[in-house]
Chain A
Amino acid sequence: MWQSRPGVLGWVMTTDHKRIGLLYFWTTLVLFAAGGAEALIMRTQLIQPNQHLVGPATYDELFTMHGVTMIFFFIIPMTTGAFGNYLLPLMIGARDMAFPRLNALSYWVFLGSGIFVYTSLFIGQAPNAGWFDYLPLANAKYDPGHAIDFYCLGIIFNGISSSLTAGNFIVTILKLRAPGMSFNRMPLFCFAFLAASFGLLIALPSLTADSIFLFLDRNVGTHFFDVAKGGSVLLWQHLFWIFGHPEVYILIVPAFGIATEIIPAFTQRRVVAFPLVAVAELLVVFIGFGVWAHHMFATGMPTVTVVFFAAATGVVVIPSTIQVFAWCMTFVTGQAQFKTPLLFIAGFIFMFVAGGLTGIMFLAVPFDQQVTDTYFVIAHFHYIIFGAAVFPIFGGLYFWFPKVTGKLYFELPGQISFWIIFIGTNLLFFPMHIVGLEGMPRRQYTYPGGLGWGPDNLAETIGSYITTVGIVVLLVNLVVSWFRGAPAGPDPWHGATLEWTIPSPPPEYNFAVIPKVSSAYANWDYEDRAEDRRKLAEGIMVLEQGHEQPVSSPVDGWWAEIVEMPHDSPWPIVLALALAIVFILLLLHLWLGFCFGLAGVVLALLGWHGEEPEEAVA
Chain B
Amino acid sequence: MATRRRTWRGRIAAAALLLPTLLAGCGGSQNTLAPHSHAASDISNLFWVMTGIAFGGLALVTGLLVWAWVTRRRRGFRATDPADPHPGEKPAWFVVIGGGVVFPLMVILALFIVGDWAVLNVTQAPAASSTAMTVDAVGHQWYWAFRYPGTKAVTADELHIPVDTRVNLVATTADVIHSFWVPELNRKIDTIPGRQNRILLYADKVGVYRGQCAEFCGLQHAHMGMLVFVQPKTQFRAWLRKQSAPAPAPTTALARRGEDAFLSGPCSSCHAIRGTSARGFVGPDLTHLASRTTLAGVLIPNSRSYLARWIVDSQHLKPGNQMPDFHLTGSKLDALVAYLEGLR
A binding-site residues for B, Cβ under 8 Å:
49-50, 55-57, 60, 129-130, 134-137, 142, 227, 232-234, 267-270, 272-273, 276, 298-300, 303, 306-307, 310-311, 314, 317-318, 321-326, 328-338, 346, 349-350, 353-354, 357-358, 360-361, 363-367, 369-374, 437-439, 441-452, 494, 521, 524, 526
Contact = CB atoms under 8 A, between A and B. Distances in A.
Contacts of A273: 89, 92-93, 96
A364 B32 contact: no
A364 B100 contact: no
A367 B320 contact: no
17 contacts: A55-B319, A227-B194, A233-B193, A318-B100, A318-B101, A324-B61, A325-B64, A333-B89, A349-B61, A354-B58, A366-B122, A367-B119, A441-B212, A449-B23, A494-B80, A521-B85, A524-B82
B23 A50 contact: yes
Point out which of A322, A446, A450 has the most chain B C-beta atoms below 10 A from its C-beta. Answer: A450
Given A136-B176, A324-B61, 15 more contacts: A56-B219, A300-B195, A326-B100, A333-B89, A335-B78, A337-B77, A361-B47, A364-B50, A364-B111, A366-B42, A369-B123, A369-B187, A439-B31, A439-B183, A448-B23
Interface residues of B, number: 100
A142 B183 contact: no
Contacts of B218: 60, 137, 142
Nearest to B112: A314
A364 B116 contact: yes
A310 B100 contact: no
B50 A367 contact: yes
A353 B61 CA distance: 8
B327 interface: no
B75 A437 contact: no
B80 to A, nearest CB: 4
B228 to A, nearest CB: 13
B111 A360 contact: yes
B32 A317 contact: no
Nearest to A297: B187
A137 B108 contact: no
Given A324-B100, A370-B188, A336 B72 contact: yes
B221 interface: yes
Contact of B68 (A276, A331, A357): A331
A298 B188 contact: yes
Nearest to B76: A335
A445 B179 CA distance: 17
A315 B26 CA distance: 44
A365 B212 CA distance: 20
B67 A366 contact: no
A142 B141 CA distance: 10
Interface of B: 19-21, 23-26, 29-33, 39-40, 42-43, 46-47, 50, 53-54, 57-58, 61-62, 64-65, 67-69, 71-72, 75-80, 82, 85-89, 92-93, 95-96, 99-101, 103-105, 107-109, 111-112, 114-116, 119-120, 122-125, 141, 175-177, 179, 181, 183, 187-190, 192-195, 197-198, 210, 212-222, 225, 319-320
Nearest to A332: B68
Contacts of A361: 47, 50, 54
A61 to B, nearest CB: 11
A331 B120 contact: no
A452 B188 contact: no
B190 A366 contact: no
Contact of B120 (A303, A372, A448): A303
Contacts of B197: 299-300
B166 to A, nearest CB: 17
Given A335-B75, A369-B123, A448 B100 contact: no
Contacts of B179: 298, 373
Contacts of A439: 29-32, 183, 210, 212
A452 B20 contact: no
A328 B64 CA distance: 6
Contacts of B19: 50
Contact of A366 (B96, B112, B123): B123
A312 B107 CA distance: 15
B120 A307 contact: yes
A446 B318 CA distance: 11
Nearest to A133: B216
A461 to B, nearest CB: 17
B320 to A, nearest CB: 6
A338 B70 CA distance: 11
Contacts of B25: 450
B64 A332 contact: yes
Nearest to B64: A328
Contacts of A336: 68-69, 72
Contact of A346 (B65, B89, B93, B183): B65
Contacts of A366: 39, 42-43, 46, 115, 119-120, 122-124, 187
B115 A322 contact: no
Contacts of A323: 100
Given A56-B222, A137-B177, A300-B197, A450 B104 contact: no
Given A366-B39, A373-B179, A524-B80, A56 B320 contact: yes
B24 A448 contact: yes
A452 B29 contact: yes
Nearest to B85: A270
A335 B95 CA distance: 18
Contact of B23 (A49, A227, A326): A49
Point out which of A317, A322, A448 has the most chain B C-beta atoms below 10 A from its C-beta. Answer: A448
Nearest to A308: B116
A1 to B, nearest CB: 31
B101 A322 contact: yes
Contacts of B123: 366, 369
Contacts of A333: 87-89, 92
Contacts of A270: 80, 85-86
B112 A328 contact: no
Contacts of A233: 177, 192-194
B176 A451 contact: no
Given A136-B176, A300-B192, A441-B214, A317 B111 contact: no
Contact of B64 (A142, A331, A447): A331
A556 to B, nearest CB: 22
B44 to A, nearest CB: 8
B104 A317 contact: yes
Contacts of A449: 20-21, 23-24
A134 B175 CA distance: 13
A374 B181 CA distance: 11
A365 B115 contact: yes
A426 to B, nearest CB: 12
A173 B118 CA distance: 47
A336 B14 CA distance: 64
Contacts of A367: 43, 46-47, 50, 115, 119
Given A363-B112, A370-B188, A372-B188, A321 B101 contact: yes
A334 to B, nearest CB: 8
Contacts of A438: 30-33
B119 A299 contact: no
Contacts of B221: 441, 443-444
B210 A363 contact: no
B209 to A, nearest CB: 10
B135 to A, nearest CB: 16
Contact of B72 (A55, A337, A451): A337
